[in-house]
A and B are shown apart, each in its own frame.
Chain A
Amino acid sequence: MSDQPITSEPRLASSFAAATSSWLPAVILLLGTIVAWEAIVRIFAISSFIIPAPSEIGRSLVAQWGTLMQATLVTAAEILLGFVVSVVVGVAIALVIVRFDWLGRALYPLVVLFQNVPKVALAPIFILWFGYGLAPKIGLILVIAFFPVTLSMLAGMQSVDRSLLSLMNSVGASRTQILFRIRVPHSLPNLMAGTKIAATLSVIGAIVGEFAGASDGLGYVIQFASTQLDTALVFAALLLVSVLGIAFYYAAEILERIVVPWAPKFSHA
């Protein structure tokens, strides 16, 4: 039987080349947009509290660097903690639903029902309950981000082939054995996809939490700066929020490659 050895070196080199050529158009478009933005603001002399020019945003970023970095750290900590709690709780709920029939039948409809509650609207209540610190942000991220984790892991655990389960049953495997030796590892590619969604939602949860009531963090900076009509600072903070979002997304993607190196990869390159 023919079977080529799988070498990684040439693939790595070619994927780097492919990545550069696929990124290049996006980078050109981005730079073009920034240049056009700057030009339009200057030509039409648009007031900086309506639309600040990119150069002004840059100046604000440098001038307020210390404050912004401190706020970024606060928000990053909220996102990271909220994300971890969401994944842990999301996985636990999925395991309970699959392992215990009765509990699962009780829990699953409630989880789906809860998904339809506009959770952003819970932010003021969380502030009321937990105060202005870290706790209400973690709570808000949890209610926003656990659902894709639970749902994706459930889908993965329930899509195990029936004949594989037959084989396991034929040698007398227990339900717990089937759960941890087959269903859980089988669900990891799905779980990782859900985790990436949760990473993005965690950023939203943190900012919404800070909007509802905070004395620190990038969401607080955005709100405070907009009341001062310092739109350049609003944009500077927005830029940092976006960088955080991208960083967390790619961190989740790297985690995926470490956890499920055997899963089929869907590459954009």
Chain B
Amino acid sequence: MRIDTIRADGGKPAHIRHDDLISVKGVSVVYARQLVLQNIDLSVPKGSFVSLIGPSGCGKSTLLKVLAGLVEPTSGSVSIGGLSPVEAARKRMIGVVFQDANLLPWKNAVDNASMLLSIADKSLSRAELRARGQEMLELVGLGDAAHKRPNELSGGMRQRVAIARALALDPAVLLMDEPFGALDAITRDSMGQSLLEIWQRTGKTIVLVTHSIDEAIHLSRHVHALGIKPGRITGSIDIGLPYPRDLAVTEDPEFVRLVVQLRTMLRASHQPGDAS
């Protein structure tokens, strides 16, 4: 297997950084006698924005679940700030956002935003939970929708509540599995932009799973491409475009060059014969 590492900023290879918050070494996952992930090495620097991109079935969502402690790797090790993912999750270091917002339809936005926190920290009073939920809704731009139930919110707004719910835990890492995958293109763009703002204001480390090349390059600092059968990292790109980025960055020649480079990388990992 060939690992093709191309760096735009000529920095050190990611896996020898010392300020890594997440470090994955030699992780393989076998599920139903199928090798879903093979020998994954991945480092995510603290405060970074990293995207995992690849075709359907490449195991990118499984990798995210491994990081969240929801899937136990068959071999290899995962460390999140020196802890196992399950320990890290118990210490509220991990916030997860899935493609489906999965809000509770009988609770309003503010109670949905504080729902996970209420379970993670039983010492908080109802008023404290509400205050925290409200604060998070304001962070995601939904401050005046606190008393609306999910069926009164649009798809984009529901996903914002899901992000607020994850952020309410004040996690070090935000793990997002195609969070904007079910949204229309225009909402998707504005959600991406909001996510960048939230990232810069909170300083969270974000790992985003996506199948959108534009989204990966627009948002992240590092992009890792995954190939299929078995799922493995086939290449990585550092995105040197300066922050803060807005949608105008998508017209930058450097952005266009990176899109071509990432597309070529993904296509190479898709070619017949590459999968052994």
Contact = CB atoms under 8 A, between A and B. Distances in A.
A1 B149 contact: no
A51 B92 CA distance: 75
Nearest to A182: B104
A109 interface: no
Contacts of B120: 171-172
Interface stretch (B94-102, B218-226, B246-254): B94-102
B6 interface: no
20 contacts: A1-B156, A1-B187, A2-B154, A3-B148, A3-B154, A163-B98, A166-B96, A167-B102, A170-B68, A170-B89, A171-B119, A172-B90, A173-B119, A181-B115, A181-B119, A182-B104, A185-B104, A186-B104, A262-B149, A264-B151
A108 B102 CA distance: 29
Contacts of A260: 106
Nearest to A6: B152
B191 to A, nearest CB: 10
A181 B157 CA distance: 23
A3 B152 CA distance: 8
Nearest to A188: B106
Contact of B102 (A163, A170, A173): A163
B91 to A, nearest CB: 10
Contacts of B92: 171
Contacts of A161: 100, 102
Given A167-B96, A188-B106, 7 more contacts: A3-B152, A3-B154, A169-B70, A170-B69, A171-B89, A171-B92, A171-B120
Contacts of B69: 170
A117 interface: no
Nearest to A260: B106
A83 to B, nearest CB: 24
B105 interface: yes
Nearest to A3: B154
B153 interface: yes
A185 B106 contact: yes
B209 to A, nearest CB: 13
Contacts of B154: 1-3
Interface of B: 65, 68-70, 89-90, 92, 94, 96, 98, 100, 102, 104-106, 115-116, 119-120, 145, 148-149, 151-154, 156-157, 169, 187
Contact of B105 (A2, A166, A181, A262): A262
Contacts of A170: 68-70, 89, 94, 96
A120 to B, nearest CB: 38
A183 B92 CA distance: 23
A188 B106 CA distance: 10
A1 B96 CA distance: 24
Contact of A172 (B89, B102, B152, B153): B89
Nearest to B144: A3
Given A171-B169, A172-B119, A264-B151, A166 B156 contact: no
A185 B107 CA distance: 10
Interface in A1-23: 1-3, 6
A115 B147 CA distance: 44
List the 8 closest A-B pairs by CB distance, nearest first.
A171-B120, A164-B102, A163-B98, A170-B89, A173-B119, A262-B106, A262-B105, A171-B116
